[in-house]
Amino acid sequence: MGRSVSCQVYQSIEKEGGEMKKFNAPLIIGGIILILILSIVIFPEVFTDKSPYNMQKMIFSTSNGSLNVEKAPYPPSKDFIMGSDEMGRDLYSFIIYGTGLTILLGILIALGRFLIAVPIALSAGFGNNGSKTIIRQFSILFSAIPALLLSVIILKLEFFFWLDKTASIFAFVVVLSLIGWPKLGNLIMERVDTINQQPFIRSEVALGKSRLKIATENVFPHLAPELLVLFFMEIARSLSMIMQLGIFSVFIGLLKIIKDTQGGFVSFYNISFEPEWAGMLSTSRSMVSVAPWTVLFPALAFFISVLGFNLFGEGLRNAIQKQNSMFIPRLRKLLTFDIKYIWTSFSKKAKIISTSVLSVILAFILILSFADGGEYKFKNMNYGLPAYERVVIGTESATETAEFLAGEMDRLGIKPFDDEYIESYETRKSVLILDSSFVLDDNGISTSFEFEKDYYFHTAASGNFNGLIYDATKEDMFNLNDYSKFENKFIMLDKAYYSDSAINYFVRQIREKSNVIGILLVVRTDEKINNKFANEGMDKPVINISQQLMQTIKNQKKTELSISASILPLSPNGTNVVGILEGDEGSLQEEAIIIGMRYNYLNDDGRKLLEFNIQLMEKICKLENNSRSVIFMFIDGTMSETLHGVYGITDDFPYSSSKTKVYIDLTGLTSMEFDYINYSSAQAPFTRQYAWSLAHQLEKAFKSNKIEVKELEAVFFGIERYFTDSYALNAMFFDRGVASIIIGTDDPGNKSHDVYDIGEIVLETIRNNNY
């Protein structure tokens, strides 16, 4: 008898000890997967240094004198760990960056379903017949019509097809929440009904407690463990639905790129620009036999995530429902904000473990947040530039600065073309306006006007010029025979009535046939007044004036004009500095990215911009794993449309245009600080996929950094876009066929950003795409 009792006690202790030491494998494995997913979502750049947007449909290489062409999709290799899709995008980086959007979508859908299901199910569980009817009828409806089929039908409507990314996410969440909540609502209703049948609930009713109080203090704490488990299960179910929708070409971030318009029927490329797993499955499902990796790896990402959420939910169920679980008492105390009780209810061992785990997670987050970012940071640098207050084309300062830049290229391992970094080009003889004045006198009342705002010189001569103004804006200049009335006066002509060639003809005729003091040309509506340079000085100045200034002159009865100018003659020779940083050995080495920068300046701010440009060049040279070559061009004459050194480069371009992927024009950076940037990717069309994707990444990065982007004005010229502000902006694209991205700054404004922000974005984008 005694021996039997002792055996039973021993078996009971052994059983309890076995339960205490039981290993909750689902919770630990699921937790590890979820921590990994969370780390990828927060710090994707730590897991990959490649861009998910980079497109490379073809790779050209030469071996033994023959040209080799490889077309996407590329199989898994050292360059593409998981291979690429049909657009040449790296699958591994696409999956890494797609984790955030895909998991976020799954969580939002699960939350949406809970927000609908929980209130209705609680009401039904407490006997509300209307709520019960709603749950049952919707359950019947979605049993008769499969949720997947209904989701495809709704989300395939044209209205949803044309939504942008944010609106598309909202539509997905709303539609999939409305379709998926009845099953969840039915489960919660049954669980609430079961809890309400328990004796302790009857006791609370007998004590006179209200239904609301019973729900919050008794039902919800017992229901919460089940809700927590169901939430993780629901995320897994949402991800499964997203994956299935992807197979039917329903996904976030559908890229609406016109493929063909033949016969009046518009067809599109059915691809996703935004990294998202369902989009990957959709665009690659037709390639399963040709490139199975394009389907395998996105499907594997879904499988691991669904498995992780399911395992974690199952592990939570095991932990919550085990004997002597303190979850419900702690939850009740949490609802009453009794944190002290919750902390003291944990054992000393549990406190140590939880504190240690939390510390490790925080340390991990801190390490990742500071990792892999320092190389993008810019700071004030002093490179020992030649000591000039200004550097202007055609002067000794420009020549010496060009030689300095050539030395910097040599120091950084950048190689010259044809053994010379400096490439000279010829331009017209010009002058720089150092100082000027434009004063109108109306019966003793003098009014001064602002250079580059109200007027600028077309041709200039040093000295002072005074005289009355003769208004010839209403004269028929083509039939004018008497030029004597122009003698010793300033002549005002309106360019709006004549072509440029006609205006040039009139200027020559006036100067030849009369002794005028100077000529005032009223600019057209679309002309800008922002030129510090003028044609070579002559004895009679030709000045462009604004339309507002013309009206001021017309409103005065007898106006005397005084003009003065101080000029700096310039040599008709410019000097560009060009060098190439050769890419790493590989199939992409012959492809090149071009970066164009200015080195002329007139003030200290411009000098700092030049030092920024040198620093950008240096940082690009120090990046690791640059597969493509990078061509650096420091361009002369950038402060003048007519003297711009880009014309000299395009006349004798030092590299094959067919091997040049993109030209990033930074010559428009004119101030260290700014409020917005002038930007355009109009000359980086989808047919130039590398440049197109790079441009979209830059624009997205600018906006995510809250940098306002203003599009440069461009019009169609044939089938291509043409910038109307400056022909120099069009030169690389129209003269050499190189896809161009334009980035510039203008008025500093409130100085909410500086060029270092632009530098970090450009540097990181190049680094992420130069593989």
Which ranges of 564-717 does DSSP label H, i.e. alpha helix? 604-622, 646-651, 689-704
Lowest mean pLDDT among 195-204, 489-498, 651-660, 704-713: 195-204
Residues 6+ apart with CB under 8 A from 308: 29, 30, 33, 34, 37
Tally Cβ neighbours within 10 Å of residue 2. 6
pLDDT tens digits along 46-85: 888 787 877 777 776 666 666 677 787 888 988 788 988 8
pLDDT tens digits along 331-374: 555 555 556 666 666 667 767 777 777 777 677 666 655 555 55
Residue type, 30: G
pLDDT at position 723, please? 84
| Residue written as token pair 């990796």 | 293
Lowest mean pLDDT among 484-488, 584-588, 711-715: 584-588
**Residue 4 pLDDT more than 60?**
no
Provide, rounded to the nearest whole percent, the portion of the chain with pLDDT above 90: 38
**Residue 12 pLDDT more than 60?**
no
Q: In which region does residue 673 sit, left (phi positive, over 0), alpha (psi from -120 to 50) or beta (all else)?
A: beta
Q: Name the DSSP letter for residue 657.
A: G
- At residue 257, what are phi and psi to the nearest 5 degrees? -110, 125
Q: Which domains does the chain have, with CATH numbers?
A: 74-254+272-304 (1.10.3720.10), 383-428+572-769 (3.40.630.10), 430-569 (3.50.30.30)
pLDDT at position 281, please? 83
Contact yes or no for 280/253 (Cβ under 8 A): no
The better pLDDT of the pair 626, 674 is held by 674
pLDDT tens digits along 467-495: 999 999 988 888 888 888 899 999 999 99
pLDDT at position 744, please? 93
Of 699, 724, 723, 721, the C-alpha closest to 709 is: 699
Cα separation, 612 vs 760, in Å, equals 11
Look up residue 248 and give its two tokens: 């039917």
- Residues counted in the chain: 771
Tally Cβ neighbours within 10 Å of residue 437. 13
Contact yes or no for 434/568 (Cβ under 8 A): yes
pLDDT at position 7, please? 44
pLDDT tens digits along 731-766: 999 999 999 999 999 777 778 899 999 999 999 899
Contact yes or no for 544/458 (Cβ under 8 A): yes
Contact yes or no for 519/490 (Cβ under 8 A): yes
Cα separation, 555 vs 538, in Å, equals 30
Look up residue 490 and give its two tokens: 């300033």
Tally Cβ neighbours within 10 Å of residue 569. 13
